Structure 1
């Protein structure tokens, strides 16, 4: 199982950059000053799932390498 200790700042930044296009700010003169994420299409959901699975594999590989270096 992968561990979050192997998650890097770069991983988090990349995930944020990949989803920021969905963010829709409120109009300039809005009262709350916040926005929202527009709903993702089925295709976008599939892409998000693929990216998530890729990140999980990357974390598992990092965990395995860390375990090997501890044993050595």
Structure 2
């Protein structure tokens, strides 16, 4: 089973790194236990943040392909 997690973000720069760590660990655990497919992923959706949320999301997605920010509109 492929799991897709969608997380809305608005001015989350202060907590985004920690959120990424927690979600990343959980996805890895679920993949290792074969509860979900290796193709599972997480999409962070930036809802027009005024802080550095988008820059952090781009950086995190370059470090881990399971985390994908959609194109900024």
| TM-score with structure 2 setting the length | 0.31
Structure number with higher strand proportion: 2
Return the TM-score normalized by structure 1: 0.31
More helix by share: 1
